[in-house]
Structures are given as structure tokens and as C-alpha cells.
């Protein structure tokens, strides 16, 4: 019996709709993917731990029921299709999302627990309604005077799409229309009783004086070029008692976008690898191994169709994608809500890379006492620099551990230009913040020495790009380390670049799921010469690949580790340089 039937059956004793849905999902009575199951498990586990010293939150569905649920069912109407003009009936997953967001509170302050939300569902699963319901309720139903609510996007036209959905909902409802004033010419909806305003916001918006958002709704985040709008809203809301930054999106096909970074972070929260109790997450997606031609799997990405028991519309869209290659990618991302890595000239399949990830602490323990090659890829002081330790564990496997450095005074600026959360990566320890505007060689030198001693790494040699690391290499050489210059041309790097990818695909490389290195892998594209040689392309200054480039420098030597009689076998670089000049290869 699905939740809609249970709710309509007065003879069945049930919990609140949020908890009932969670139980049915976890018990397997409703078809669901692993991420949706984890979201429901999280709710049930939190119920068991609520009102404790370690978990100071309480769940009371009646708060949501008397708040946003009542607002939706009493004041709003369906705006599209055959139901247009009719009162809204919510379905199971909508109860779960809205009831969770507005039903969990802090036991001492009474404020809402969740300050951010990430919702990812396939297209045509009421994203438009969820955007309008949340925006309008936060404008007029949340009890705050002077609330600022924003529908946000990178471009003005895109921001107006979500705003226009709200306008449409207001105009079709007499109850809302008599309470709200629509100012379409300036993309505003005004609630005079509370002096509150709902406004379209984009990166093109010029005047943000008094910017203090109570709520920011970001629709189709996968289409955003960077996280600029998200950071603007999140940072602007820092003084609010209970703000809500509400991201809702489908999957996309650009894995180096800000949305995919958020998606991966949220999945780690659901998997209990990361701790963030103020972020609500609901991701409805198929599992990686699911057959996309099996109709029952389509419901995992389409909770509305699942709740209504409708399959035929999905069947048409899936068939169209399978029959027509030009529609295939769109079908995967929009109909089945699958992130797809289809970057032109991409260096590596990201899903295969991720499969090789292990726990960071376990990997450090595995590598304790082992020999390693240290690869360096250094910037011109003011950008990112990386150090990668590569361990030939035996004749089959390699382990990779990377740390990246960033000038502390440039973190905020680079977050805006590069579109990733450097601040979060600093907190997690994978990105090292250096004081000031530049990175000094001494900081990297000290890190290599201290980090290797701390974890008992046996450094066999240090492999560096001579373009930016000559002085650092000299300093380390004077400390007794063997340093090897890795020339940055096709002849030197093509084979190790190909071999590293092959080792990953053969599951011979393990790494620590370092989010900075993962991002580097997503960003990496290759350039090829007429002989089929490849090289990582470093021309895009915002799509960083420093950690991966450092790893390739290390792999240039590590891949020959078991072919060396004495363990050192340094190449004849003088001869290499002469041949490079003869062939006209770039240095």
C-alpha cells in the first residue's frame, strides 16, 4: 500500500506523513534508490537520537502541518494542466521534503534545524511547485517582518523563470492576490502586511544594498557556471536566525560545475562520511548498476510518477533517448536524473576514478612505512600548488595521497572565479591555507619534510617540474633528498599520462577521495599530437589540475619502480633535452 493510499485510509494507524514515508522507503515497500533510502534512514535515526546532548534537535510534524502544509493546501492552487485552478493535494515525497524542512527545530532556540536544502529530482517532478511554495511561504507565512526572499540564477532571464512561477501562482489564487502586490516590471512581489519582498536575483543585479536574505531559492543549479550566487545568498544570510537556502535541480553533464561539487558533498553527508546537521538532502536517483531499460528503476528518479503510479510518459521519454543518440544525454540527465560525464577531450572517466576511492585515514595507515615518489606542481606563488605522494605498494597497485596549497588572502576571490568551495576543503584538511597573498617555497618544503615524518613515509625521490620548482628542489637536495627533474613535454609525459589512466581503469590505483584531487580529475582534458601522444592541457586557468599534474610527475618515475635494479635508474635528461630541441617539442 503506497503512502497516498495509507493517508486516505482512516482505518490505518500511522505516524506522521514524514516518518511513515521514511519507514516505507527503508522497509522496501516503495521502490527507491540508495540516496533516497539514506535520506529516510537519516530521518529515522535522528528521531531516535533527538533531544540528547549530542543531538539537540526535535521533530514536530505539527509545526510543518500548521505552517507550510496548511499554507499550500489552503492558499495555493495548481497552475498547470488539467488540475489548473484546483486545490493542491500533496503526495508522499513532497510531505517528506516539506515536513522535514519545517518540522525539525533546535530544542533550545526553537529555530529551524535546516538552514540549507539540496533537492535533486528528475524533470517534471514538481520542481516548479516546490520553488513557488517555499518562496511564497517564506515571504508571507513564516512570521518574519521585512523578509527578503530571492529566486536566484546566474543570468537575469533565468532568475525570472522561477520568479514568474511565483507570479503565476499568486495570480491564479484569489487568497494570495488580495494579500500580495505583484510588480512584474521590476520582478518583485510585495507583502505589505510584513513589509516583505520576493525578488528575482542574478549575478547581473547591480544594487544589493541592505542584502539580508531570509530565503534564497536556486533553481536548476546544475546550469550555474559557478557558486557565486550560492555564496552570495549563504554569506548574506549569516545574521538571520533561521534562513533557508533552497537548492533544487536536476542532474547535468558538466562534472566540474558547482552543483556537482554540492551533490558529491551532500551524498557524503547521507553516507555519514561528512557531518552537517543543518543541511537537508533529498536526492532521487537510480543506483549506478541499475538497468536504464527496466521501467521499475525509472521510479527511483521520478518520485511524482511513482506516487501517481504513472509509467507511460516515462516510457516514451526513455525510448526516445535510446532510439535517438542526439536525445540520449538529455534523457539520462533530465528524465533519469543521472549525472553524465560527457566532456569533450576529457582525460578520465570520473565514475571509474571514484570507484577507486578509499577512506583517507585508512590509506594513510596503509602507506605508513612505505616508499614513495613525491610529485610537485607549483604555481607562480599566487595560485594553487600541489604535492602528490605516490606509493608503489606492490607490482599491481599504487596509492596516491595529495595535498594542495592556496594563499589565504586569495581564498574568497578564487572561490568566486573558480566556482568551488575552497573554504570547505580547507576545513577538511585537503587544502592547506598559506598566510598572505603568496605561497612560499619554505612552506611547501616544511610540509613535505614534516608530513612524511609524521606518517613515516620513506621518500625515494622528489620529482619536479623545473619551470617553477628549481629552487625548492635545490633546497630539498641540500637536505639529502634525491630530486629528479621531470621535463614537461610530450616525450617525457605521454607514456606516464596514459599509463596512470590505464592503472585507474584496471583498478590498480587507490586514492583517499580527496575532493580537491577529485575536482582536478573532473577538470582534466588532454591534448594530442599527430602521433597519438597525449598531455594534460593546462590552458584553462580556472579549471585546476594541479594535484593530478603533480601525480603524473610522480608516476613518471613510480611506474618504473619495479624495473629498476638499484631502485634509482635516473633517465638521461641531457639526451632528452637534445632530442626535444631536435623534434621541436615544447619545454
In this prediction, residue 153 carries a pLDDT of 82
Report pLDDT digits (tens) over 296-324: 999 999 999 999 999 999 999 999 988 88
Taking the model in full, what pTM does it have? 0.78
In this prediction, residue 8 carries a pLDDT of 56
Contact 149, 196 (CB under 8 A): yes
- Angstrom distance (rounded) from CA 106 to CA 59: 9
Report pLDDT digits (tens) over 480-503: 999 999 988 888 999 999 999 999
Length reported for the chain: 587
Calculate ∠ Cα 461-475-436, nearest 5°: 110
The 10 Å Cβ neighbour count of residue 13 is 7
- Angstrom distance (rounded) from CA 418 to CA 235: 17
Calculate ∠ Cα 118-256-519, nearest 5°: 100
Question: Which parts of the chain register pLDDT below 70?
Answer: 1-14, 205-210, 325, 342-344, 380-381, 563-587
DSSP string, 6-59: HHH-TTS----HHHHHHHHHHTTSS---HHHHHHHHHHHHHHHH-SSSS--EEE
Contact 233, 213 (CB under 8 A): yes
- Angstrom distance (rounded) from CA 142 to CA 129: 18
Report pLDDT digits (tens) over 364-385: 999 999 999 999 998 766 789 9
The domains located in the chain, with CATH, are 3-307 (3.40.50.300), 350-583 (3.30.420.240)
Half-sphere exposure of 468 (CA within 13 A, CB side): 19
Phi, then psi, of 464 in degrees rounded to 5: -135, 155
In this prediction, residue 583 carries a pLDDT of 37
In this prediction, residue 207 carries a pLDDT of 65
Amino acid at each position: 500500500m503506497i503512502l497516498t493510499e495509507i493517508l486516505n485510509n482512516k482505518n490505518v494507524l500511522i505516524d506522521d506523513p514524514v516518518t511513515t514515508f521514511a519507514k516505507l522507503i527503508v522497509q522496501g515497500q516503495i521502490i527507491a534508490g540508495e540516496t533516497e533510502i539514506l535520506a529516510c534512514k537519516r530521518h529515522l535515526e535522528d528521531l531516535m537520537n533527538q533531544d540528547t546532548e549530542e543531538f539537540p534537535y526535535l521533530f514536530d510534524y505539527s509545526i510543518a502541518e500548521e505552517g507550510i502544509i496548511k499554507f499550500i493546501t489552503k492558499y495555493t492552487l495548481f497552475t498547470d494542466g488539467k488540475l489548473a485552478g484546483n486545490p493542491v493535494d500533496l503526495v508522499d515525497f513532497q510531505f517528506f521534503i516539506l515536513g522535514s524542512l519545517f518540522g525539525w527545530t533546535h530544542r533550545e532556540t526553537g529555530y529551524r534545524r535546516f538552514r540549507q536544502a539540496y533537492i535533486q529530482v528528475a524533470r517534471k517532478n514538481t520542481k516548479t511547485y516546490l520553488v513557488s511554495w517555499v518562496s511564497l511561504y517564506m515571504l508571507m507565512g513564516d512570521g518574519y517582518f521585512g523578509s527578503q526572499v530571492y529566486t536566484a540564477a546566474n543570468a537575469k532571464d533565468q532568475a525570472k523563470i522561477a520568479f514568474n512561477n511565483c507570479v503565476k501562482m499568486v495570480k491564479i489564487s484569489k487568497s494570495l492576490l488580495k494579500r500580495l502586490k505583484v510588480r512584474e516590471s521590476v520582478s518583485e512581489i510585495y507583502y505589505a502586511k510584513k513589509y516583505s519582498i520576493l525578488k528575482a536575483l542574478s549575478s547581473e543585479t547591480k544594487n544589493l544594498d541592505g542584502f539580508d536574505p531570509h530565503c534564497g531559492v536556486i533553481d536548476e543549479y546544475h546550469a550555474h557556471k559557478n557558486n557565486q550566487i550560492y555564496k552570495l545568498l549563504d554569506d548574506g544570510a549569516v545574521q538571520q536566525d533561521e534562513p533557508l537556502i533552497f537548492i533544487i535541480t536536476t542532474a547535468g553533464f558538466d562534472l566540474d560545475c558547482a552543483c556537482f561539487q554540492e551533490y558529491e558533498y551532500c551524498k557524503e553527508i547521507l553516507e555519514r562520511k561528512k557531518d552537517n546537521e543543518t543541511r537537508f538532502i533529498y536526492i532521487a536517483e537510480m543506483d549506478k548498476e541499475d538497468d536504464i531499460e527496466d521501467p521499475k528503476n525509472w521510479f527511483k528518479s521520478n518520485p511524482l510518477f511513482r506516487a501517481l503510479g504513472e509509467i507511460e510518459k516515462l516510457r516514451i521519454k526513455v525510448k526516445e533517448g535510446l532510439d535517438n543518440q542526439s536525445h540520449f544525454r538529455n534523457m539520462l540527465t533530465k528524465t533519469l536524473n543521472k549525472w553524465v560525464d560527457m566532456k569533450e577531450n576529457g582525460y578520465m572517466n570520473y565514475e571509474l576514478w571514484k570507484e577507486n576511492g578509499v577512506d583517507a585515514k585508512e590509506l594513510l595507515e596503509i602507506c605508513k612505512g612505505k616508499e614513495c615518489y613525491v610529485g610537485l606542481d607549483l604555481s607562480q606563488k599566487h595560485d594553487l600548488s600541489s604535492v602528490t605522494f605516490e606509493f608503489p605498494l606492490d607490482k599491481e597497485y599504487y596509492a596516491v595521497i595529495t595535498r594542495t596549497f592556496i594563499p589565504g588572502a586569495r581564498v574568497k576571490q578564487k572561490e568566486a572565479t573558480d566556482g568551488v568551495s575552497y573554504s570547505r576543503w580547507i576545513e577538511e584538511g585537503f587544502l592547506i591555507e598559506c598566510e598572505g597573498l603568496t605561497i612560499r617555497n619554505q612552506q611547501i618544503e616544511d610540509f613535505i619534510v614534516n608530513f612524511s615524518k609524521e606518517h613515516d613515509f620513506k621518500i625515494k625521490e622528489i620529482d619536479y617540474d623545473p619551470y617553477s620548482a628549481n629552487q625548492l628542489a635545490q633546497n630539498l637536495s641540500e637536505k639529502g633528498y634525491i630530486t629528479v627533474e621531470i621535463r614537461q613535454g610530450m616525450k617525457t609525459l605521454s607514456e606516464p599520462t596514459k599509463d596512470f589512466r590505464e592503472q585507474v581503469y584496471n583498478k590498480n590505483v587507490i586514492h583517499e577521495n580527496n575532493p580537491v584531487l577529485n575536482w582536478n580529475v573532473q577538470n582534466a582534458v588532454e591534448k594530442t599530437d599527430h602521433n597519438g601522444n597525449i598531455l594534460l592541457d593546462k590552458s584553462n586557468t580556472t579549471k585546476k589540475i594541479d594535484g593530478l599534474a603533480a601525480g603524473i610527475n610522480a608516476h613518471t618515475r613510480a611506474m618504473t619502480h619495479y624495473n629498476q635494479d638499484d631502485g634509482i635508474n635516473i633517465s638521461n635528461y641531457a639526451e632528452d633535452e637534445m632530442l626535444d630541441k631536435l623534434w621541436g617539442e615544447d619545454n
